[in-house]
Structure 1
Amino acid sequence: MAEQRRADIVENLTNVRNAMQNASSPQETRLVAVSKYKPAQDLLYAYEAGQRHFGENYVQELVDKSAQLPKDIQWHFIGHLQSNKAKTVVSIPNLYVVETVDNIKKANTLNKACDGLRPDPLRVYVQVNTSNEEAKSGVAPADCVKVCQHIIDSCPRLELSGLMTIGMFGRDPSEENPDFKCLAECKNQVEQALPGKTLELSMGMSEDYVQAMRAGSTNVRVGRTIFGERERPQKKE
């Protein structure tokens, strides 16, 4: 059973890597394996196949898995971060980036949480709500430059590294994705406002990561295609 599970994950991971190589995108793109609700053993199978960047949506899962798994894993926090959990997240030594800074207050909270816990600035992405959906977090595209400028000016313990979006589900993959186009436009606006700054773009998931790469993504977050369908763990009574 375990060997079959290992084989399935390695095969899926290989298929994703091959699809990325064949995407004909002009830029290098990082693969982040998203392991929400999956056991640490599944991540270890992917790790043994050479995967090093992993994404987690929930703070407790990130805490638990980072304690169990190899220390050279580069963790991406990609979920909604509550202010009272900021210090817990930034205290993880091999945290690579927090991708979900969605307002100035969150940036200030993370900046303060880093004090005394991290020797180097923490990489952050500003999350942009490119589809203007009420249920999604993220700054409005019109406010993106303002939030990025604030991080540069007022958050010395943070390193502004990129922009991130969760596009609207159900977009036609054969057509230009307006969410990806919007985030690329935000990148251009920020880079014009902050001369010398080059930003990464985190966009694209299992359904559309190849399309996202062709639109300029430098960081794709792929979960289900690697690890299979997710089942929320049953709460213990």
Structure 2
Amino acid sequence: MSIAQNLLNIKSQLPESVTLVAVSKTKPVADLMEAYHAGQRIFGENKIQEMTEKWEQMPKDIQWHMIGHVQSNKVKYMIPYVKLIHGVDSLKLLKEINRLALKWRKKIDCLLQIHIAEEETKFGLDEKELKELLASEEFKTFDNIRVVGLMGMATFTDNQNQIKREFQHLKTLFDTYSQLKTENCQLKTLSMGMSGDYQTAIECGSTMVRIGSSIFGTR
């Protein structure tokens, strides 16, 4: 099937309450434009340089989401245009995003990445770190960021029960901290689920899925 057909097929399976991020990393602009012409306006990239190059070449009504691990020294390149930063996993990174957003007189929406998988290689805050970050006095001074939700990736495994447990754990944290409503933290978005597990993620309460290979084919 074509990219456009894959996209429409996936969209037909998603509830209205779930936002689709088309993960376009490593794919050429021509592939993204095929998805764009089929109606897709939200794209996710995991490298800031690649995302910036695509932003420069493509229509300006696209929402760009940074979904990969973010290095503090690269943040400045995406501040002018990024819509949502998914993988924020430290107070230090939030501080840098806030500093640069202030410089651009913008407010930048962020998701805090929570480590829910068993693999050590995945980034993210644990439950204790999440609590400490949101309670810290320094965090409360960040006027140019908005923490709008949580993000997490399940373990890469065929064990559906384990994946479900991890997603349910993240949903529980999301529900707990959704009650915390401050000027720079109001959780509305729960980003979990990729090509292999997005249906399970939606069953567990995901409001945003990140799908790449099921749209654009394998990398």
Asked if the contact 2:150–2:187 (Cα under 8 Å) also holds between the matched residues in 1, the reply is no
Q: Deviations over 1:81-130 (max 9, x none)?
A: 11110111212x2x21001110111111111121221x431000000001
Asked if the contact 2:21–2:210 (Cα under 8 Å) also holds between the matched residues in 1, the reply is yes
Asked if the contact 1:128–1:163 (Cα under 8 Å) also holds between the matched residues in 2, the reply is yes
User: Is the deviation greater in 122-131 or in 187-196?
Assistant: 187-196
1:143 pairs with one of 125, 129, 132: 129
User: Is the deviation greater in 196-205 or in 121-130?
Assistant: 196-205
The 2-side partners of 1:171 and 1:60 are apart by: 33
In structure 2, the partner of 1:161 is: 148
Q: How many residue pairs get matched?
A: 216
The 2-side partners of 1:214 and 1:97 are apart by: 23
What's the CA shift for 1:67? 0.5
The 2-side partners of 1:148 and 1:100 are apart by: 16
Residues 23-102 of structure 1 mapped to structure 2, 5 A cutoff: 28-91=17-80, 93=81, 95-102=82-89
The 2-side partners of 1:134 and 1:31 are apart by: 27
- Going from structure 1 to structure 2, the CA distance change for 1:124 and 1:149 (only over 3 Å counts) comes to farther
TM-score (norm 2): 0.91
Match of 2:196, SS state, is coil
Match of 1:11, SS state, is helix
In structure 2, the partner of 1:187 is: 174
What's the CA shift for 1:174? 6.6
Q: Deviations over 1:175-195 (max 9, x none)?
A: 761221111111122123447
The 2-side partners of 1:110 and 1:198 are apart by: 18
In structure 2, the partner of 1:14 is: 8
The 2-side partners of 1:174 and 1:191 are apart by: 25
Asked if the contact 1:144–1:186 (Cα under 8 Å) also holds between the matched residues in 2, the reply is no
Asked if the contact 1:145–1:189 (Cα under 8 Å) also holds between the matched residues in 2, the reply is no
The 2-side partners of 1:109 and 1:132 are apart by: 29
In structure 2, the partner of 1:229 is: 218
The 2-side partners of 1:215 and 1:167 are apart by: 12
What's the CA shift for 1:14? 1.1
In structure 1, the partner of 2:193 is: 204
TM-score (norm 1): 0.85
The 2-side partners of 1:149 and 1:78 are apart by: 25
In structure 1, the partner of 2:117 is: 131
Corresponding letter in the other structure for 2:4? V
What's the CA shift for 1:160? 0.9
- Going from structure 1 to structure 2, the CA distance change for 1:18 and 1:35 (only over 3 Å counts) comes to same
Asked if the contact 2:154–2:163 (Cα under 8 Å) also holds between the matched residues in 1, the reply is no
The 2-side partners of 1:114 and 1:101 are apart by: 15
